[in-house]
Structure 1
Amino acid sequence: MKKYLLASLLTVAGFALSGPVSAEHYVIDTQKAHAFIQFKISHLGYSWVLGRFNEFEGSFDYDEKNPSAATVSVTVNPASVDSNFAERDKHLRGPDFLNVDEFATATFKSTSYEVTGDNTGLLKGDLTLRGVTRPITIDVTQIGAGKDPWGGYRRGFEGTTRLTLADFGIPTNLGPASQEVELFLSVEGIRQ
């Protein structure tokens, strides 16, 4: 399966952390589908459209002794958008929304991580979507970490954020209830 770079999101939304030399390096486990960038947006204020991005990759560094030094980098293929309806996905890939012919990747690169609790924090970084780069903040919760049954070591996080479509040059306006998209990110990293 071809890999493409994105964020978002994404995730998006993608993502975890990196820091000093003592930090552990993790690759996000997308090959075994242990990571997700999902979205939710109101459809005209009447219902919800839910979906995901099927192709993305990334990595993060994390040091338990210095979590504020965590970093993350994620690349997403926006053409992999999947809302469970082919005609809508075709529209989402077009110039009214993601314009994937002109902007083939979306990326997220963290700039800081602020610890807010025992397993929570605010991950800040730059999201580039449709050629527009803007700072975003992702509310992060560490789900857990430990050995896996195959002799490896894994660490997992989830995060949420909201994006205003117009901030990223998306021209379509579906009304006041549909101006923002919610992103839910779930990542499981394999320590390298």
Structure 2
Amino acid sequence: MNAVKKIALGLSCTAALALATLPAQAADYVIDTKGAHASVNFAIQHLGYSWLTGRFNTFSGDFSYDAAKPEASKINVTIDMASIDSNHAERDKHIRSSDFLNTDKNKQAVFESTGITNVTKDGGFDLNGNLTMNGATKPITIAVTKVGEGKDPWGGYRVGFSGEITIKPSEWGYTYNLGPASETVKLWLNVEGIRK
């Protein structure tokens, strides 16, 4: 092997080694709402006798995630409040009214993350951020578990998470009194992202 080839080979090996030792970079994902592999669900007690459950049918968002450095992750989600669906058309019409969500004036709820804390060995973490709805912005913390990640059958790459939080709507200015058993709402977010 002549000197030029030896130098070229040495440079190639050095470059490959340098690339191999670089820290992993966070990948960007879009939430798979098109394939309906994500959901925003809620539950609230009805008079203390049962649970009323439902979901928001229209939302969008994206996030960045690196399994090697989950604390650097970020997520943004926008929910169309008028898309609320409790499986009862007349009730949903009332929920959209000024008595409850007032969706004519407050069309969206927006969550923007501010940080990740308490990362666990199985990939779970606390997702901190600001939730804006009804003209008010409040900090919240969502307990998140990692469902899994890997290649999909169509040549893409996916990662999924599930999050849960209980909030008090009155803290965002919702004042309709449903009784003491209904002062809080449980929210579940199931997010499957497709790597861009």
TM range (shorter): 0.7 to 0.9
The corresponding residue for 1:23 is: 26
- Aligned ranges 1:7-18 → 2 under 5 Å: none
Equivalent in 132, 139, 146 of residue 143 of structure 2: 139
Structure 2 gaps, min length 5: 1-22
Instruction: Tell me how far 1:23 sits from its aligned partner.
Output: 0.8
The corresponding residue for 1:170 is: 174
Instruction: Tell me how far 1:116 sits from its aligned partner.
Output: 3.2
Structure number with higher helix proportion: 2
Which fold has the larger relative contact order, with Cα–Cα distance below 8 Å and residues 6 or more apart in sequence? 1
The corresponding residue for 2:128 is: 124
Percent identity over the alignment?
Answer: 53
Normalising by structure 2, report the TM-score: 0.86
Distance 1:176 1:116 in 2: 34
Equivalent in 40, 50, 53 of residue 50 of structure 1: 53
SS in 2 for 1:75: strand
Equivalent in 154, 157, 161 of residue 161 of structure 2: 157
Matched, 1:85 2:88: yes
The corresponding residue for 1:101 is: 104
The corresponding residue for 1:75 is: 78
Q: Letter of the aligned partner of 1:175 in structure 2? A: G
Q: Higher mean Cα deviation, 59-68 or 115-124?
A: 115-124
Normalising by structure 1, report the TM-score: 0.88
Structure 1 gaps, min length 5: 1-19
Distance 1:69 1:22 in 2: 10
Matched, 1:181 2:185: yes
Greater Rg over alpha carbons, structure:
2
The corresponding residue for 1:36 is: 39
Instruction: Tell me how far 1:21 sits from its aligned partner.
Output: 9.0
Equivalent in 63, 66, 69 of residue 66 of structure 1: 69
Q: Letter of the aligned partner of 1:98 in structure 2? A: L
Distance 2:33 2:66 in 1: 22
SS in 2 for 1:170: coil
| Counterparts in 2 of 1:21 and 1:133: CA distance versus 1, 3 Å | farther
CA RMSD of aligned residues (A): 1.2
Instruction: Tell me how far 1:22 sits from its aligned partner.
Output: 1.8
Distance 2:176 2:45 in 1: 13
